[in-house]
């Protein structure tokens, strides 16, 4: 049997064996396929062993490549977090500027989510009864407003001043609690957002410059065409 023909038969036989279940195929499947394609039993068994060995090698290579890529990705992000200069990171890991920005953006999201989790945890520990406390504040506030209305109707200026002072204090406490519930953005997150805005501005400027350059070139070409005199 010619080598090219044998190769085709080998591929057909192994594909059919895989469809039957491969290593889980019914007993005697290989023997039946050997008879079907008129191939020696020993040859078929050798093909099977080579096929399995090749697959295992490919799986191991794929796993190694994934581990290497993951390790490289972690190292790039560590360098960015450690404030290694952008050009140095790009040169060290052989990545383009676009890839660098993608990694940097993912780190920002990671830090943002981490900070949110930390603040939520701290807030929950310090103020475990936030909702109940807000309800109490609202209830007290409504009661104070009712008393203020009564004092105004009775022209009780002294009571009115005391009630207003209490209302102001309660309002301040309520605002502080709302701040905790909103989990205000940290300084670090604000810095990241600022960097993003600056980068976006820089990219927009570059695009505008490119457009300007293109327009200038078009004008030059137009001037040249208009300035050409036809030969008489």
Judged by average pLDDT, the poorest of 83-87, 93-97, 200-204 is 200-204
- 105 Cβ contact partners less than 8 Å away, ≥ 6 residues apart: 196
Pair of tokens at residue 141: 């506030």
- Residue 170: the pLDDT is 85
Position 115 confidence tier, pLDDT thresholds 50, 70, 90 = low
Q: Looking at per-residue confidence, does 28 or 64 come out higher?
A: 28
Report yes or no: 103 and 153 within 8 Å, Cβ to Cβ.
Answer: no
User: What is the rounded average pLDDT of the residues 115-127?
Assistant: 67
Percentage helix, strand, coil, to 5, in the chain?
Answer: 85, 0, 15
Average pLDDT over every residue of 112-130: 68
Residue 55, token pair as written in the block: 């697959």
Q: Residues 127-155: what's their mean pLDDT?
A: 81
Cα–Cα nearest to 148, from 139, 157, 135, 137: 157
Q: Highest mean pLDDT range out of 46-55, 121-130, 195-204?
A: 46-55
Distance CA 100, CA 97 (A): 5
* Percentage of residues of the chain with pLDDT beyond 70: 68
Tell me what percent of the residues of the chain surpass a pLDDT of 90: 6
Examine the pLDDT at 202 and tell me if it is beyond 60: yes
Helices 157-182 & 130-154, crossing angle to 10 degrees?
Answer: 160
Q: Is the pLDDT of residue 2 over 50?
A: no
Mean pLDDT of the chain: 76
Give the residue-averaged pLDDT of 116-137.
71
């Amino acid at each position: 049997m010619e080598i090219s023909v044998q190769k085709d038969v080998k591929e057909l036989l192994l594909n059919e064996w895989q469809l039957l279940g491969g290593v889980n195929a019914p007993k005697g499947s290989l023997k039946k396929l050997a008879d079907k394609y008129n191939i020696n039993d020993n040859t078929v068994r050798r093909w099977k062993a080579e096929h399995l060995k090749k697959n295992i090698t490919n799986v191991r290579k794929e796993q190694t490549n994934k581990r290497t890529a993951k390790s490289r990705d972690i190292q790039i992000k560590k360098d960015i977090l450690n404030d290694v200069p952008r050009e140095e990171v790009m040169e060290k890991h052989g990545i383009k500027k676009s890839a660098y920005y993608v990694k940097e953006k993912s780190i920002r999201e990671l830090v943002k989510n981490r900070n949110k989790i930390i603040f939520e945890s701290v807030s929950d520990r310090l103020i475990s009864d936030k909702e109940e406390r807000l309800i109490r504040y609202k209830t007290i506030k409504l009661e104070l407003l009712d008393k203020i209305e009564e004092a105004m109707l009775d022209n009780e200026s002294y009571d009115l001043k005391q009630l207003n002072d209490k209302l102001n204090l309660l309002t301040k406490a309520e605002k502080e609690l709302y701040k905790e519930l909103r989990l205000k953005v940290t300084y670090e997150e604000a810095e990241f957002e600022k960097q993003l805005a600056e980068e976006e501005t820089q990219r927009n400027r570059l695009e505008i410059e490119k457009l300007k350059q293109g327009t200038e070139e078009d004008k030059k070409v137009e001037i040249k065409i208009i300035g050409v005199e036809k030969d008489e």
